[in-house]
Structure 1
Amino acid sequence: MQSNRRVPLWASALIGLVSGAVAVAVSLLVAGLVNPAAFPVVAVGNAVVDLTPAPLKEWAIRTFGESDKTVLLAGILLILAAVAAALGRAAVRDLRYGLAGLAGFGLVGVVAVLTRPGSGLTDVVPTLAGVGVAMLALRWLVRRSLVPADDPAVSHGGVPGAVGAAGAAHVTGAAPLPETSPEPLPGAGERHDPSTPPVMRAGNDLRAFDRRGLLTGAVGGVALAGIAGLAGRALSGQAEVSVARGAVLLPRPAKPLAALPAGVDLRIKGLSPFVTPDNDFYRVDTALVVPQVDPRDWTLTIHGMVDRPVELTFADLMKRAVVEADVTLCCVSNEVGGPYIGNARWLGVSLAGVLRDAGVQKDADMLLSTSADGWTAGTPVDVVMDGRDALLAFGMNGRPLPVDHGFPVRQVVPGLYGYVSATKWVTDIKVTRFDRDEAYWTPRGWSAKGPIKTESRIDLPRDGSTVPAGKTVVAGVAWAQHKGVDAVEVRVDQGQWRQARLAEAPTADTWRQWVLDDWDATPGSHTIEVRATDATGYTQTGDRAPIAPDGATGWHTITVEVA
């Protein structure tokens, strides 16, 4: 059906934007009914994450931090909005172009959905439903925006002057102009007022832009999108999982840890606290939309190179002997002095104990764990089985895991970077070998095994800050998970290294606060460096190395002005 009509640019853009909003909202609603992971916007975003080169991902994490996923989703939605506006413009010229454009975007969504791990044919239903309803909305809005020029709703009850001189000529019986003219038709001998809505010919009918018809139609489309979007969000499980999390009663550990001694936290304002609050704990993962996993539906399957495959429900897990452990986690994306590290008290069951029940075969050397959203990590078997507190954790700082941090169950393995160990929303563990399987990050250029490196950070004073002259506190944290920090040294302006005072550390698996509280700061610009020595006698290197392929190295260095 050919339109061959003109409407103002803002109006055609509005037609496209409303149609696009309907597509997104309806697909979200249907995904809530079928499978939340089949929402095409998220599927496209996840595909973008998977296809993005590693250096670009590193830049995104450095630049946007934990907001990188929000920025990506916002960028995708902005691109969709721009394309939708363009499709609206195409549709008012020829409806077939607009419909074809929507079909093309639907095809992109279908491909993205079908390429996600564990997808099936039913997962394309949300995309097809969204595109189908958007096509109907596009056709409806185009028709509402252009009505017969002699329609009384436009000539008399619509926007004043909606017909214009050409419409008046048509209504009064003036000789019609040639049917092939797609242009606005100003009255004979009169100057056309560009502010007057144009009149176009479609077949044997003159058509006029109806602002009121478009705006009322747009309001209806926005209302439909809003209702569908809200319903889809509710159906996605966020509210239900939040309620289920609130209903979880954490079991008591078989051997509760003692309360943290006062000496673990120096309680210096501005220094990272020993225990990182849940809301401040870093989050770095590939999930654009946090998986919503109801503990009543959760299962963990352990299979592969085992004597007895195991499947556990959440209730099964809670019945096992519960372990409590203080463990610091660190992301491999953490630059020297970076923020992607945190310490918490975790509650869960021994991962090694579950694996012993399954009977790990002697040739196995890798645990390929899979998240509810399909992400994978490869963890060395020997590290998990060597006696450290490797957990299937369901509690964090005395409460059920936050959804952002893996509720209902995640892995926690001391001493390994998260990309090879800390699988959130874990649902599957395949016991295998490194020479047979690869985890998510390995084919992207990262090391297959990621032991955390001995590092330290200056929290006070802040880099680039100005401090008063005189006695100044220099303080921070150091870590060497599963080895322990034995010493921290600080130097100013490349002078002599000075020993910092260390806070207590309950285990070797946590970070350790340190402080140098007698630096006599003199006016001028000063450079401060820090290095740590772990319990094996290794002192961290000052040689700078990037985060890829297995973690950054170097001394954290800051510059301050003393006034």
Structure 2
Amino acid sequence: MNTNANGARVPAWAAGLAGVTAGAVALGVAELVAGLTTAGASPVVAVGGAMVDRTPAAVKEWAIRTFGENDKTILVIGIVVVAALIAAGLGLVARWRVGYGMAGLAVFGVVGIIAAVSRPDSGPLDFLPSMIGAAAGAWALVLLFRRAEPSSRAEPHPRAEPSTGAEPSTGAEPSTGAEPHPRGEPTIRRAGADLHTFDRRKLLTGVAVGAGVAGAGAVTGRLLGRRGDVTMARRDVARMLPRPTIAAKPLPAGADLHIRGLSPFVTPNYEFYRVDTALVVPGVDPRSWTLKIHGMVDRPVELTFADLLRRPLVEADVTLTCVSNDVGGPYVGNARWLGARLADVLREAGIRRGADMLLSVSRDGWTSGTPVDVVMDGREALLAVAMNGEVLPAAHGFPVRQVVPGLYGYVSATKWVTEIKVTRFDEDTAYWTTRGWSARAPIKTESRIDVPREGDRVPAGRTTVAGVAWAQHRGVDAVEVQVDGGEWRRARLAEVPGPDTWRQWSIDWDLAPGGHTIAVRATDAAGYTQTPNVAPPAPDGATGYHSIMVRAG
């Protein structure tokens, strides 16, 4: 559609507004179609997921440190803002030829289609949301420009004839050479004496309708997408969840020091950290879930959820830690897990000689490489189905996730696990190892000050300093605290049920008025004292002492 003679009459601001509205219609309709098919095929989600997979590790680390668990929300907002800016640009291009704007929307549709169908868990209909959304956006762009253009072309005023004196003077105003135009609609003059009207009212009405369509589509799509919500499925599992065959021992009486501000020994599920690559939490139906174990095994195994629940279930207290955790950071938590022993399942499959890695696969395609010898050495490596006495929350891997004590999460804690390939480190690589992280990542001995906080003002005199320390599967043997670079003093340690959890500690210190720097270090049961050398999380975990500055007085 050539609009060199018409589209260019639309002011730039109106063209940009039309472009943004058309882009919103495209996304809204795409969300609606995604709700009817697959939520993960939404262009925003699919493109966002592709961006997460292709973002350099350093940028991801910066995002996690800066935005924490809100990093995905910030990414989605950024995608929408960038899409709006590009849509506005397409509207400006469409002033000269609407076909150019339509072509731009088609390109965006193709990008969305490629992102959606290239997802590891993509389905046969995942191309539809982006395709139909782009078509709807292009149609909206054409309609908006048609509404903005003049409804009729102004005719030139007839040339004045010489007066014959037959008609008396009426006292009318002299002609301007153009027909009158509605009040409030600006006049745009082209070459010559022709005048044309830009129909502001019709355009804004169309924009309002387009915004309504976009909003209704997005909201309805999200509501429809909740069909994949697993709330009801979790309730059903809760009713059938068996009691543990091997229950964990009761927590020792002194496991929690009950100091205000100190992290509790057991981290509540709603406070447990979440770091993963999924923009949309996978909704996995336990009735259709299976776990396939194959590769270097004698007898491939495929378990259903019911099969897993029929196995002996074990309870274990295990602290998980994310490798992205900075010294003193929040990405560590402790929970009581319930699940089947992974080692028992692997023994039934029969691991072949030479296999040294378990490449586990999440429902969203994420992969993790876990050393075989760690899983088989007797620690409670679990295919977990419950967390702190309740069915796994969806965000933490429902219906089944891996929990392996002593390893950072990126090489051990696969959520929504659906497949385990028994293989070798020199033959396969996992998601983060292809991005420069260490293939084997035992958790480093670390400690953190929880009380007081950085920058706190505390009373001069006796002050309680407290925190947590961890050295999973080795255990914490000692924690020492230092003030203003002076002597190291041993802190009091809380009791622990075993070596796989963090350990609370506390010490009372007399602080003189003024500013003070407080540091902490831990020593594990193997005799290793954490290093003061500062290192970033990449490639295998941060190091250094956690220190804070406070003011007493």
Q: Scaled by the length of structure 2, what TM-score is found?
A: 0.91
RMSD: 2.4
Q: CA deviation at 1:206?
A: 7.3
Whole-Å separation in 2 of the counterparts to 1:259 and 1:89:
68
Q: CA deviation at 1:70?
A: 1.0
Q: 1:327-346 maps to which residues of 2 (within 5 A)?
A: 327-346=318-337
Whole-Å separation in 1 of the counterparts to 2:183 and 2:426:
71
Q: 1:469-488 maps to which residues of 2 (within 5 A)?
A: 469-488=460-479
Q: CA deviation at 1:33?
A: 3.2
Residues 488 and 86 (structure 1 numbering): CA distance in 2 closer, same or farther, change over 3 Å?
same
Alignment identity in percent? 64
Asked if residue 14 in structure 1 is aligned to residue 4 in structure 2, the reply is: no
Could you report, residue by residue, the CA deviation over 1:98-141 in whole angstroms, capped at 9, with x for unpaired residues? 10110121222223234332546642222111111111111112
Whole-Å separation in 1 of the counterparts to 2:493 and 2:306:
42
**Contact preservation (8 Å) 1:7, 1:198:** no
**Contact preservation (8 Å) 2:322, 2:331:** yes
Whole-Å separation in 2 of the counterparts to 1:345 and 1:370:
23
Q: 1:71-220 maps to which residues of 2 (within 5 A)?
A: 71-119=74-122, 122-149=125-152, 167=154, 170=155, 173-174=157-158, 188=177, 196-199=185-188, 208-220=197-209
Counterpart pick for 2:31 among 28, 31, 36: 28
SS in 2 for 1:264: coil
* Partner of residue 414, structure 1: 405
416-425 or 91-100: bigger deviation: 91-100
Residues 364 and 492 (structure 1 numbering): CA distance in 2 closer, same or farther, change over 3 Å?
same
* Partner of residue 248, structure 1: 237
**Contact preservation (8 Å) 1:236, 1:292:** no
* Partner of residue 58, structure 2: 55
Q: CA deviation at 1:94?
A: 1.9
**Contact preservation (8 Å) 2:451, 2:464:** yes
Whole-Å separation in 1 of the counterparts to 2:337 and 2:9:
63
Amino acid at match of 2:467: G
341-350 or 29-38: bigger deviation: 29-38
Counterpart pick for 1:351 among 342, 366, 387: 342
* Partner of residue 159, structure 1: none
Q: CA deviation at 1:92?
A: 3.4
* Partner of residue 161, structure 1: none
SS in 2 for 1:92: coil
* Partner of residue 294, structure 2: 303
SS in 2 for 1:243: helix
SS in 2 for 1:551: coil
Counterpart pick for 2:527 among 531, 537, 540: 537
Whole-Å separation in 2 of the counterparts to 1:283 and 1:303:
29
* Partner of residue 45, structure 1: 48
SS in 1 for 2:62: helix
**Contact preservation (8 Å) 2:228, 2:283:** no
SS in 2 for 1:367: strand
111-120 or 449-458: bigger deviation: 111-120
Q: CA deviation at 1:373?
A: 0.9
Whole-Å separation in 2 of the counterparts to 1:14 and 1:401:
46
SS in 1 for 2:453: coil
Asked if residue 379 in structure 1 is aligned to residue 370 in structure 2, the reply is: yes
Q: Across the two proteins, how many residue pairs are aligned to each other?
A: 531
Amino acid at match of 1:554: G
Q: Which runs of 5+ in 2 are unaligned?
A: 160-174
* Partner of residue 65, structure 1: 68
SS in 2 for 1:5: helix
Whole-Å separation in 2 of the counterparts to 1:542 and 1:30:
54
Could you report, residue by residue, the CA deviation over 1:291-332 in whole angstroms, capped at 9, with x for unpaired residues? 121222222111111111111222221221111111100000
223-232 or 315-324: bigger deviation: 223-232
Residues 91 and 406 (structure 1 numbering): CA distance in 2 closer, same or farther, change over 3 Å?
same
Q: CA deviation at 1:187?
A: 5.0
Whole-Å separation in 1 of the counterparts to 2:129 and 2:272:
34
**Contact preservation (8 Å) 1:455, 1:478:** yes
Q: CA deviation at 1:193?
A: 13
Q: CA deviation at 1:232?
A: 2.0
Whole-Å separation in 1 of the counterparts to 2:139 and 2:189:
23
**Contact preservation (8 Å) 2:358, 2:420:** yes
* Partner of residue 170, structure 2: none
SS in 2 for 1:123: coil
**Contact preservation (8 Å) 1:5, 1:200:** no
Whole-Å separation in 2 of the counterparts to 1:284 and 1:489:
30
**Contact preservation (8 Å) 2:22, 2:210:** yes
Whole-Å separation in 1 of the counterparts to 2:99 and 2:408:
52
**Contact preservation (8 Å) 2:189, 2:195:** yes
Q: CA deviation at 1:37?
A: 2.4
Whole-Å separation in 2 of the counterparts to 1:506 and 1:342:
15
SS in 1 for 2:9: coil
Residues 279 and 351 (structure 1 numbering): CA distance in 2 closer, same or farther, change over 3 Å?
same
Whole-Å separation in 2 of the counterparts to 1:263 and 1:66:
31
* Partner of residue 549, structure 2: 559
Could you report, residue by residue, the CA deviation over 1:432-478 in whole angstroms, capped at 9, with x for unpaired residues? 11010000011211100010001000111111222110100000000
